[in-house]
Amino acid sequence: MNDQTAQFAVASAHDTRRRIFAIVGASSGNLVEWFDFYVYSFTALYFAPSFFPSGNTTTQLLNTAGVFAAGFLMRPIGGWFFGRLADKRGRRTAMMISVFMMCGGSLVIAMLPTYAQIGALAPSLLLFARLLQGLSVGGEYGTSATYMSEVALKGRRGFFASFQYVTLIGGQLCALLVLVILQQALTTEELKAWGWRVPFVIGAMAALISLYLRKSLDETTTAATRQRKEAGTLRGLWEHKTAFMTVLGFTAGGSLIFYTFTTYMQKYLVNTAGMHAKTASSVMTAALFVYMLMQPVFGALSDRIGRRRSMLCFGLFATLGTVPLLHALKDVTSPYAAFALVVVALAIVSFYTSISGLIKAEMFPPQVRALGVGLSYAVANAIFGGSAEYVALWLKQAGLESMFFWYVTAMCAIAGLVSLRMRDPSTDGYLRHEP
């Protein structure tokens, strides 16, 4: 009996180590993908004049935000393509292809000639590279969220699956950190001339390392599941249309407020609050670091109180807090006050982001899980998350900036109402029966 107990303990410890290694392996690619994607947003202040030379700062940022949003429009295609690939050919294969594609997009941007060199072809090629990256990220979210949810330990899935957003935020944080280092090492003129290209080169090289790491991951689906007739098909997904529409409902508000207080916030502090670009970068670097550390805490909380209650907390606090927080940040003068306000906002967002991928995965069966997670997320994210900067800047240019605050609030209220109507997937979802 003692021998059997010892063997079981060894097997259990080995399984735990294997699952943790899988989380780390999947996370490495996730970090690289999002680093590459967000480098664009954080360096836009410096390369915008090189590709869109005419107009004032807001107009140039509006143009780069438009290209940023266009990348999001490829996400539904990426969510469908890679979701189908992951459900029919395996999660590992899909994750390897997506990170390789991101590498290519970063290399293209790093080597792009400017508008002064090749004219209108420069912004066109920039758009092409962003579309390629959008396709990649559209596939990355669904496949990595699905994979990490499937390998996470039962009973602690909220905690382990939260590391998807740890690495997603880590990608943003690394992008900001690289920018801060470049800002200290180079002059503004050097950053505008060539320094903005350096992060894209770093991202492309890191993607190759991630590609190597992902080759060693175990597959989480069985051959029988992948060979099912409905695996990875829209027809099979339509059998779970209620889950699909539910995910659309709360992802719209979740994505919108996430991008408002992360990627757009740096520009908001510079363009609206009048903060120096270097100071704004430092504030957001510190805030994102705290935000990253929050994810496992809020993920573990969801294991105790349930996913539905976590989502209800998100909907309630985001609805009540968005307008006051954005108004306070609009008039902020102290970087310390700005940091505190952004951290409060990101704590509210953490109720959603810490379980974002997991709650979606728990709502779909394995044969259409990657497709269901990826496509539903990508559609809502493309429409609402990807357009956040563009809508905010357009309303600012029109003199209606406060309208954006209420727009975010309304979408978060909808997310709360959708969460109120849904069952708790942590106790009544498909993953509850899986090891």
pLDDT in tens, 361-378: 888 998 999 999 989 888
Tokens (6 digits) for 134: 């959008």
Polymer length in residues for the chain: 435
Angle between helical axes of 163-185 and 2-51 (0-180°, round to 10) = 40
| Spatial distance between the Cα atoms of 112 and 241, rounded to a whole number of angstroms | 42
> Residue 434: pLDDT band by 50, 70, 90 thresholds?
low
| Spatial distance between the Cα atoms of 144 and 22, rounded to a whole number of angstroms | 11
> Is the pLDDT at 406 greater than 90, yes or no?
yes
pLDDT, average across residues 154-169:
86
Output 63 or 302, whichever has higher pLDDT.
302
- The runs of H, that is alpha helices, within 113-240 are 115-118, 121-151, 157-161, 163-185, 188-193, 198-214, 223-226, 234-238
pLDDT, average across residues 163-181:
84
The answer to whether the beta carbons of residues 314 and 348 sit under 8 Å apart is yes
C-alpha angle with apex 35: 24 to 259, nearest 5 degrees?
110
| Spatial distance between the Cα atoms of 206 and 35, rounded to a whole number of angstroms | 9
pLDDT at position 170 is 86
CB count within 10 Å of CB 358 equals 31
Residue whose tokens read 């805490």: 297
> Residue 105: pLDDT band by 50, 70, 90 thresholds?
confident
| Spatial distance between the Cα atoms of 226 and 218, rounded to a whole number of angstroms | 15
The domain segmentation of the chain, as residue ranges, is: 18-433
Helix (H, G, I), strand (E, B) or coil at 387: coil
The answer to whether the beta carbons of residues 219 and 366 sit under 8 Å apart is no
CB count within 10 Å of CB 115 equals 18
Identify the CA nearest to 151 among candidates 161, 142, 159.
Answer: 161
> Residues near 349 by Cβ (< 8 Å), separated by ≥ 6?
254, 257, 258, 261, 291, 314, 318
> Is the pLDDT at 28 greater than 90, yes or no?
no
pLDDT at position 289 is 92
The per-residue pLDDT for range 115-132, each reduced to its tens digit, is 888 887 888 888 888 888
Angle between helical axes of 277-305 and 163-185 (0-180°, round to 10) = 170
pLDDT at position 6 is 38
End-to-end CA distance of the chain: 24
Instruction: Say yes or no: domain 18-433 is CATH 1.20.1250.20.
Output: yes
pLDDT, average across residues 69-97:
85
Identify the CA nearest to 240 among candidates 417, 154, 360.
Answer: 360
In order of 58, 95, 297, 352, the CA distances from 149 in angstroms are 40, 14, 17, 15
Tokens (6 digits) for 207: 């993607």
Identify the CA nearest to 61 among candidates 269, 267, 259.
Answer: 267
pLDDT at position 433 is 59
> Is the pLDDT at 397 greater than 60, yes or no?
yes
C-alpha angle with apex 309: 172 to 351, nearest 5 degrees?
15
**Model's pTM, two decimal places?**
0.82
- The runs of H, that is alpha helices, within 275-421 are 277-305, 307-330, 335-353, 356-361, 369-380, 388-397, 401-421
| Spatial distance between the Cα atoms of 111 and 40, rounded to a whole number of angstroms | 14
